[in-house]
Chain A
Amino acid sequence: EVQLVESGGGLVQPGRSLRLSCTASGFTFGDYAMSWVRQAPGKGLEWVGFIRSKAYGGTTEYAASVKGRFTISRDDSKSIAYLQMNSLKTEDTAVYYCTRDPGYSSSSHFDYWGQGTLVTVSS
């Protein structure tokens, strides 16, 4: 059974940093791209970014709203994907979902989702 478990969310002040983790199980983690999707309170879904599998370079792509502030990385030996969030803004407040992405050279879609972790950016 595919499982994705996010952790690391919480309350953080504007301008500070936070790192989210996504621990995967039930599939060969290294074979898949991984994406992050967020949902502000009461709002819709927003794609944040993704990381390709090592077979496709392990490179990353980001939404314009987070580019330069957020960094996605992966540790295939531990089956963990990370979302490093720097220079956080109040508008980054959202539930952050880790997703499995069957895409190869580009992000495709999200076939499995974690339960989400809430990040609240507030002073």
Chain B
Amino acid sequence: DIVMTQTPLSLSVTPGQPASISCKSSQSLLHSDGKTYLYWYLQKPGQSPQLLIYEVSNRFSGVPDRFSGSGSGTDFTLKISRVEAEDVGVYYCMQSIQLPLAFGQGTKLEIK
């Protein structure tokens, strides 16, 4: 099974400052079809998770452009260019190149 490892597990950011979360997979997420099956979700307090980024770097509908994803192979990063109060919550990366689908442990973002 593929293991997803996120760092850091928590971070505290001043509004307006950038934030970055790393996600590493135990195997390459690049498929023979040319796609890389890495996704990012945000679970705001008391809410269901929501899709932020699909296939490494594509923002889902309605996701602000301050969120961006990058990376390849086994190393990926989610960046928030200027953190806002509404960005608090737990961020998860996930792979779907292989069953079972696997999530990272989650990174809790809080505002200073």
Contacts and interface: CB of A to CB of B under 8 A. Distances in A.
B49 A108 contact: no
Contact of B51 (A44, A107, A110, A116): A110
B103 interface: yes
B3 interface: no
Contact of A63 (B37, B96, B100): B100
B51 A108 contact: no
Given A47-B102, A61-B99, A109 B39 contact: yes
Interface string B73-102: 000000000000000001010101001111
Given A63-B100, A109-B94, A45 B49 contact: yes
Contacts of B90: 44
A44 B103 contact: yes
Interface in B28-56: 37, 39, 41, 43, 48-51, 54
Contact of A107 (B54, B60, B99): B99
Contacts of B49: 37, 45, 97, 110, 113
A interface, size bucket: 20 to 34
Interface residues of B, number: 22
A45 B94 CA distance: 10
Contacts of A111: 51, 54, 60
A107 B39 CA distance: 13
Contact of A45 (B50, B51, B54, B92): B92
Interface in A5-33: none
Interface string A94-123: 000100000100111111111110000000
Contacts of B48: 97, 113-116
A116 B48 CA distance: 7
8 contacts: A44-B90, A44-B104, A47-B103, A109-B51, A109-B96, A110-B41, A111-B51, A113-B48
Interface of A: 37, 44-47, 61, 63-64, 97, 103, 106-116
List the 4 closest A-B pairs by CB distance, nearest first: A47-B101, A113-B48, A45-B103, A109-B39
